[in-house]
């Protein structure tokens, strides 16, 4: 398991970054993300699982907010939210989205682009049942992205649901659940030492129906590597 190793921190506590080049980057960008994520979890930073999620409205206006990563594997990147929120409305009209992780203490950033789909109701149920009871009641009570008369109204709704489910499990609201981002492009950025420039590695992939492929890298200054699907050419990459 990758850990925040001693060579990444000077005795003074100053972060000393590792080099990022073709010799150290893993061929699979998801595995590279997982390695960096384990490093961030081993550090002292607050909420290394926080990611900025950017979506676009039907008229092309972008919006971004912080959501928390709950799962990252070869299937994609999962987070949970209210299906009646602004972001959910934008996702319903345009499933393309981007997320950004910034781990300042490690001088690292990861950008991921892809498409979003809802996860299964069963998986959402399983995660919802694992949440603290107060968080469950909050999800049930909060009319996300809607105007409310006052905070007192929100507290009234919370108290009402708390009494309603006092002696029974809190059910997952039908308008609350998870999304999974299926990645088509990665960019890994590593801050440089004082005597070096910064470096980044970009990976792109587009899989058409009935076609599959791995990740391929090519150099494009100032990014030293770009990865594209081995099954597809540049014309197949999404322009969104």
pLDDT in tens, 207-219: 444 445 566 665 5
Provide CATH code, domain 6-130+177-236.
2.30.110.10
pLDDT of residue 150: 74
Domain ranges of the chain: 6-130+177-236
Distance between CA atoms of residues 201 and 225, nearest Å = 5
Amino acid 108: pLDDT: 92
User: Low-confidence residues of the chain, pLDDT below 50?
Assistant: 1-13, 195-197, 206-211, 220-226, 228-240
Give the separation between CA 157 and CA 160, rounded to whole angstroms: 5
Please give the Cα distance from 192 to 175 (Å, whole number).
44
Q: What is the dihedral of CA 133, 171, 142, 65, to 10 degrees?
A: 80
Angle at 22 between CA 19 and CA 24, to 5 degrees: 50
pLDDT digits (tens, 9 = 90+) for 61-110: 999 999 999 999 999 999 999 999 999 999 999 999 999 999 999 999 99
Q: Which of 236, 240, 209 is nearest to 94 (CA)?
A: 240
């Amino acid at each position: 398991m990758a850990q925040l190793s001693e060579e990444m921190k000077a005795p003074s506590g100053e972060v000393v970054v590792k080099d990022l080049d073709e010799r150290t980057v893993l061929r699979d960008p998801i595995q590279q993300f997982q390695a960096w994520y384990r490093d961030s979890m081993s550090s002292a930073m607050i909420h290394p699982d926080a990611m900025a999620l950017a979506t676009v409205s039907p008229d092309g206006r972008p919006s971004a907010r912080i959501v928390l990563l709950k799962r990252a594997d070869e299937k994609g990147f999962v987070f949970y939210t209210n299906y009646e929120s602004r972001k959910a409305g934008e996702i319903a009209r345009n499933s393309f989205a981007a997320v950004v992780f910034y781990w300042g203490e490690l001088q690292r950033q990861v950008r991921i682009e892809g498409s979003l789909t809802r996860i299964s109701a069963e998986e959402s149920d399983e995660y919802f049942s694992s949440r603290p009871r107060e968080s469950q009641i909050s999800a049930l009570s909060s009319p996300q992205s809607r105007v409310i008369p006052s905070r007192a109204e929100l507290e009234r709704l919370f108290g009402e649901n708390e009494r309603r489910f006092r002696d029974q499990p809190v059910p997952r609201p039908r308008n609350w659940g998870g999304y999974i981002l299926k990645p088509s492009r990665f960019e890994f950025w590593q801050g440089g030492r004082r005597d070096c420039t910064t470096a980044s590695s970009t990976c792109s992939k587009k899989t058409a129906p009935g076609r599959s492929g791995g990740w391929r890298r090519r150099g494009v200054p100032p990014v030293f590597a770009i990865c594209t699907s081995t099954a597809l050419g540049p014309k197949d990459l999404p322009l969104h």
